[in-house]
Amino acid sequence: MANQSIFNIATTEEFESATMETFQFQYQNNEVYRLFCDYLEKSPNIISKIEDIPFLPISFFKTHPIISSVGQAETIFTSSGTTGNQTSKHQVLDLNLYEESFLKGFELFYGDISDYCILALLPSYLERNGSSLIYMVDRLIKESKHEASGFYLKDLTSLVSNLSSLEKKGQKTLLIGVSFALLDLVEEYGLSLEHTIVMETGGMKGRRKELIREEFHEILTKGFGVGQIHSEYGMTELLSQAYSSGQGIFKTPPWMKILIRDTEDPLSYQSIGKTGGINVIDLANRNSCSFIATQDLGKLHSDNSFEILGRFDHSDVRGCNLMVL
């Protein structure tokens, strides 16, 4: 399947067909993934359904180049590893594919980007290079074409001033921020927002005491005066995002799918409503690996929406993923 045609997927059958084709392509062209599949004795000639496809543990992005196409990487996205920890490296051969994925994904859930003013509060990401989130938000800011759109590193005063003036004008606004920075903002300023979507991207680790999502969102809804807190679920190793418009319930675009693996037996799957490890199919990630076993815990709902319930600790991940090449 041509890269761009994944964005036209409209049915389950089309998704399954594109997924099986992608698996065959990546098995043939991605040396690390092929070795991993062979280790599990899972070659394309015995894979007949999506659930049989092996999902590469996300930790492989820290130790191996995960590439399915020949060519020079246009950029390398890296994760924000803590000091002394290895970081993930995602070699992106085609930035157009990433851009089409996040622009179409945003439009699917929120409509035309040019209707919005985008205010970004992402200090920890701006303080380092190689963030896929910064790349995405920077492009959204440019596409919004609004004069007040931009990054606000530590200048909360002008951010609040702009928010107030945008609210007075009734301007649709997206305030997208890392968790700890949004908390800092509401602790310093009480706001009452009618025309603004507040979206958190996670990112509390090491900056503040970890809060459970319900507690965190309750503080933000009161502090911003909004009914719901939206969320974005993406990662360095992917090229697509899921979005939540509240209650921590996420939906994926049609070229992305979530499966929940059994934590005791990572090659089998949990039923609807049961907690397990999140496996992601991201067909936009064709030039790398579209089948990734994350370190997140979650559960699926019957309408294919999902929740994130936490993360494995390292011992769980090593134990449940069994594989080191």
Name the phi and psi angles at 73, rounded to 5.
-65, 135
Burial readout 19-31 (b: 16 or more C-beta within 10 A, e: otherwise): bbebbebbbeebe
Q: Are 307 and 289 in contact (CB under 8 A)?
A: no
The answer on pLDDT for 160 being more than 70 is yes
CA distance 66 to 56: 10
The answer on pLDDT for 167 being more than 60 is yes
pTM of the model: 0.92
Q: Percent of the chain having pLDDT more than 70?
A: 91
CATH of domain 97-233: 3.40.50
Which of 108, 107, 184 lies closest to 140 in space, CA to CA?
107
**17-47, pLDDT tens digit by residue?**
999 999 999 999 999 999 999 999 999 999 9
Q: For the chain, how long is the longest CA-to-CA vector?
A: 61
Q: What is the mean predicted confidence (pLDDT) over 148-164?
A: 91
The answer on pLDDT for 124 being more than 50 is yes
Options 3.30.2350.10, 3.40.50.300, 3.30.479.30, 2.30.38.10; CATH for 3-70+255-321 is 2.30.38.10
SS (H, E, C) 229-263: CEEEECCCCCCCCEEECCCCCEECCCCEEEEEECC
Q: Where in the chain is the domain with CATH 3.40.50?
A: 97-233
Cα 277 to the center of its chain, rounded Å: 15
Cα 157 to the center of its chain, rounded Å: 29
How far CA 167 is from CA of 170, 188, 292, in Å, comes to 5, 19, 40
The answer on pLDDT for 108 being more than 80 is yes
Q: Where in the chain is the domain with CATH 2.30.38.10?
A: 3-70+255-321
pLDDT of residue 60: 96
pLDDT of residue 56: 97
CA distance 233 to 240: 9
